[in-house]
Amino acid sequence: MSNVSNRLVRLLNMVPYFQANPQISHAEAAAELGVTRKQLLADLNQLWMCGLPGGGPGDLIDLDFEGDTIEVMFSAGMDRALRLTSPEATGVLMALRALVDVPGVVDPEAARSAIAKIEAAAGAAGGSAAGAPTLADEDVENQATAAVRAATRDRRALSIEYHSASHDTVSQRVVDPIRIAVIGDRSYLEAWCRTAEGVRLFRFDRIVDARVLDEPSAPPEPAVQAGPDTSLFSAESADPTLPSATLLIDASVSWMFDYYPLRVLRELPDGGWEAAMTYASDDWMARFVLGFGAGVQVLGPPGLVERVAHCAVTALAAYGVSIGE
């Protein structure tokens, strides 16, 4: 949309906006309208010159904006917001639908009812996009998720039971929530862990239980300032101080590249790839490789290679299978 059109839409909606938000301050209005104070003033002055045909004093839009706040005295019939265009309706609806399935980001029940209301208000404009059929029990948010969301919103500390994949344990800890982060496809609680004395990302679907505590959330200030540490999720931002595994990835498991932060080192003639992946836990990485069987071969570091081999052999022994067979 051109700047001229953007401005026109804004002007068309400004009068009903001020009517709906009486005595709103210049600063707040500018923020909500997405413009600078200067632009807001220019727009208000422009509106002042618009009105009904005839152009007499009684026909023009009348706004009082000399003080700190803005008030509509005469709307010249501009009382209603313009209806949503298809891209506008679709943008809101698709965003809501995308987040409904990611735990902890939005209240799923509220999101679904918001979707229904906006679909109704948008009418045909909402038609280019649709969502999956909803099932009744998907609406009820998991108690732990709801507690985490509430604690983050109300800035209270949390006691959580968390399944740590890297350590293969469920342990209890007290944390100070900082924010909820959506990384890729999943949601995480970014919080100061009092036991670890560091900021951690707790994946929502691994928070087994959560209880809001009476005390306030008090993460150390520097931890709050920094954004979430996503280096383990992204191939680009790998932490050079952490170990990196060199892997041969078979063509049959190419989907791995969509889900794991693999860095391609080279393509292989048989259609596979040699790739690197940074990891923080030896235990986790060994399990990762082992699980893929023929799909992934680990080339290094040597400690990891040995560990995987050892695990495979002892596992086969548990099945009563020796390697010679």
Q: Which residues contact 209 (CB under 8 A, 6 or more apart)?
A: 143, 144, 160, 161
Q: How far is the CB of 251 from other proteins (least distance, A)?
A: 4
- The single-letter DSSP state of residue 157 is E
Q: Give the Cα-Cα-Cα angle 304, 305, 311 (nearest 5 degrees).
A: 85
Which string of x and - marks every residue 30-69 that binds other proteins (by CB under 8 A)? -xxxx-----------xx-xxxxxxx-----x--------
Kindly state whether residue 311 participates in binding other proteins, applying the rule CB under 8 A: yes
Please choose, out of 62-70, 192-200, 274-282, 304-312, the segment that lies near other proteins by the rule CB under 8 A.
304-312
Q: Which backbone phi and psi does 138 adopt, to 5 degrees?
A: -75, -20
Structural contact between residues 253 and 296, judged by C-beta atoms closer than 8 angstroms: yes
Q: How far is the CB of 45 from other proteins (least distance, A)?
A: 12
Please choose, out of 16-24, 65-73, 139-147, 192-200, the segment that lies near other proteins by the rule CB under 8 A.
16-24
Q: How far is the CB of 219 from other proteins (least distance, A)?
A: 13
Q: Please, what sign has the CA dihedral across residues 114, 28, 50, 16?
A: positive
Structural contact between residues 99 and 29, judged by C-beta atoms closer than 8 angstroms: no
* Radius of gyration in angstroms for the set of CA atoms belonging to the chain, rounded to a whole number: 28
* Residue selected from 56, 73, 221, 319 as contacting other proteins according to rule CB under 8 A: 319
Please choose, out of 64-72, 139-147, 178-186, 239-247, the segment that lies near other proteins by the rule CB under 8 A.
178-186
* Residue selected from 230, 244, 246, 281 as contacting other proteins according to rule CB under 8 A: 230
Kindly state whether residue 207 participates in binding other proteins, applying the rule CB under 8 A: no
Q: Are strands 207-216 and 198-203 parallel, antiparallel or unpaired?
A: unpaired
197 vs 236, which CB is nearer to other proteins?
Answer: 236
Kindly state whether residue 136 participates in binding other proteins, applying the rule CB under 8 A: no
Cα dihedral 196, 157, 138, 166 in deg (nearest 10): 0
42 vs 309, which CB is nearer to other proteins?
Answer: 309
Kindly state whether residue 213 participates in binding other proteins, applying the rule CB under 8 A: no
Q: Give the Cα-Cα-Cα angle 273, 276, 277 (nearest 5 degrees).
A: 125
Structural contact between residues 191 and 174, judged by C-beta atoms closer than 8 angstroms: no
Please choose, out of 64-72, 103-111, 191-199, 274-282, the segment that lies near other proteins by the rule CB under 8 A.
103-111
Within 73-102, which residues bind other proteins (CB under 8 A)?
76-78, 80-92, 94-99, 101-102
